[in-house]
Amino acid sequence: MTFTPLHRALGEPAGPITFDMLQRAIDVGVAENDELDWKRNLPEQSKFKDSDYIKDIAAMANSGGGMIIFGVAEQQKKATDWSGSSCVIDESYERTIRQAAWSKISPPVLNLTMDTVTGPDGQTAAWLLIPPSDDVPHLEFKKDYFRAPIRNGADTEFLSEREIENRYRARFDARSRVEQEMNELSRRTMEGHTADRFAWLVAVGRPTVRSNRRLAREEVVKMMWQAEEQLETLSRDGRPFFFQSFDRDNPRPGYRGWRFLNRMPDEYAFHETWVTIHDEGSVTVAAAIGGGHQGAGSGEPHAFGGHQIRPNQLEEVVAGFASLVRATAAATERSDYAIRLDVEWEGAELLELLMPDPFLRGFHSPGDKIRGFVPIHRSVDARCSGEGFVEETRSIALDCVNQGGRANLMWITNQKN
């Protein structure tokens, strides 16, 4: 569900942008402000990259995000009528806008949303939604110079050198804050669990721009099924177990979010898993990854120690977490996520990543020890292409297994979707 500056100006709840909404905005004379801009025309596609609209995109990104609507006439900054111009953003024009926001602005403005609205009498209007950004200041390149535009009410101003310096300092401070917040979220995720019996993987993801609405129970249950479908595409054999380890169909309300409780009995505690989906778009997973046994058909049953991590279990939890982040991002209309993964273990033995043993049809101890798991911090685009999602998930999983002396993945597919 989309909530835009136009919804806010009209007092509308989140929902799609319709012709009726634009007509109402014209009828009541909605005024431009620091997050809403009316434009009479949409330039020819070939001229967009050299137009002043690049400045407007950068200015709104530097000012907390905003919305540009093409095809509406204004007087004294208030919407007055349809302009009568043909304003249509098709797939080709959309690529042009995204390319311009990438090549003409530094750092690029990403995750733009745009579409076209058509009226019953042939009126057309196009809208462009610019999200808030943590990468301010965004600089617009203009021939042989650059400048940092910013919205000042309905007008555009340019930051001074001192103001640009302050914005850079604020960006670096914000990144430090994000790391601290991720560490704290990871700590809270592990609260109530002890890592003296099994090693645990603690994975947390938080959107850079947080959602401001509450998730309904039906939504998060649907997200679980979508995430499981996504996980099946990551598995080499298409039969993941991750979503069977917690009660995915019966979420419990928590503080501004929903908790999915572990369903593994004590004899299978090495599969214990707890998941939380937060209203603001964050995802947390705490899952046991140590211990287990060879299982039937592997000769003499053998139980592994809690410090011994099965690579297939580690990979599947990483992939399950990535699938949850992707499903949550789609449902909450977020894109950029900061993620953190760490392994918790409080036992006396050093951690070790087990190696597949084709003769035992199971695993054996390689002898290499993990003397200190390095937490993994990443920024990811959770709504990238299917191929990009597979590559990103593989890269994160490799960062995990490489620390145990393993060069390849065994559970996550190498097939590109």
Give the pLDDT mean for 304-315. 92
Query: Could you tell me if 100 and 241 lie in one domain?
Result: no
- Is the preceding omega at residue 311 within 30 degrees of 0, hence cis? no
Structure token digits, residue 34: 């620091």
Nearest residue to 59 (alpha-carbon basis) of 43, 37, 75 = 37
Query: Could you tell me if 93 and 216 lie in one domain?
Result: no
Least confident piece of the model among 69-83, 140-154, 348-362: 348-362
Is 298 contained in some domain?
A: yes
Is 89 contained in some domain?
A: yes
Q: Given this model, what pLDDT does residue 296 score? A: 46
pLDDT higher at 14 or 247: 247
Give the pLDDT mean for 115-143. 91
Q: How many domains does the chain have?
A: 2
| Domain of residue 247, residue span | 181-404
Share of the chain above pLDDT 90, in %: 69
Give the pLDDT mean for 126-152. 90
Query: Could you tell me if 139 and 196 lie in one domain?
Result: no
Q: Given this model, what pLDDT does residue 300 score? A: 46
Q: What distance in Å separates the CA atoms of residue 360 and residue 304, rounded to the nearest whole number?
A: 14
Give the pLDDT mean for 335-348. 93
Q: Given this model, what pLDDT does residue 361 score? A: 65
Structure token digits, residue 407: 């060069």
Task: Please state, rounded to an integer, the average pLDDT across all residues of the chain.
Answer: 90
Query: Could you tell me if 146 and 278 lie in one domain?
Result: no
Query: Could you tell me if 219 and 146 lie in one domain?
Result: no
The answer to whether the beta carbons of residues 285 and 202 sit under 8 Å apart is yes
Residue 106 has pLDDT above 80, yes or no: yes
Query: Could you tell me if 391 and 288 lie in one domain?
Result: yes
Q: Given this model, what pLDDT does residue 297 score? A: 44
User: What letter represents residue 345's amino acid?
Assistant: W
User: Of 113, 129, 159, which residue is a domain's last?
Assistant: 159
Q: Given this model, what pLDDT does residue 388 score? A: 87
Is 194 contained in some domain?
A: yes
Q: Given this model, what pLDDT does residue 179 score? A: 82
Is 26 contained in some domain?
A: yes
Is 321 contained in some domain?
A: yes
Query: Could you tell me if 229 and 353 lie in one domain?
Result: yes
What's the pLDDT tens digit per position in 41-72? Answer: 999 999 999 999 999 999 999 999 999 999 99
Query: Could you tell me if 194 and 339 lie in one domain?
Result: yes
Cβ-proximal residues to 160 (8 Å cutoff; 6+ apart), any chain: none
Query: Could you tell me if 141 and 190 lie in one domain?
Result: no
Query: Could you tell me if 153 and 188 lie in one domain?
Result: no
Is 210 contained in some domain?
A: yes
Q: What distance in Å separates the CA atoms of residue 119 and residue 233, rounded to the nearest whole number?
A: 40
Residue 358 has pLDDT above 80, yes or no: no
Is 411 contained in some domain?
A: no
Q: Given this model, what pLDDT does residue 360 score? A: 59
Determine what percent of the chain falls in helix, strand and coil, rounding each to the nearest 5: 35, 25, 40
CATH of the domain at 66: 3.30.950.30
Query: Could you tell me if 299 and 228 lie in one domain?
Result: yes
Query: Could you tell me if 259 and 297 lie in one domain?
Result: yes
Is 417 contained in some domain?
A: no
Cβ-proximal residues to 192 (8 Å cutoff; 6+ apart), any chain: none
Least confident piece of the model among 10-14, 88-92, 123-127, 353-357: 353-357
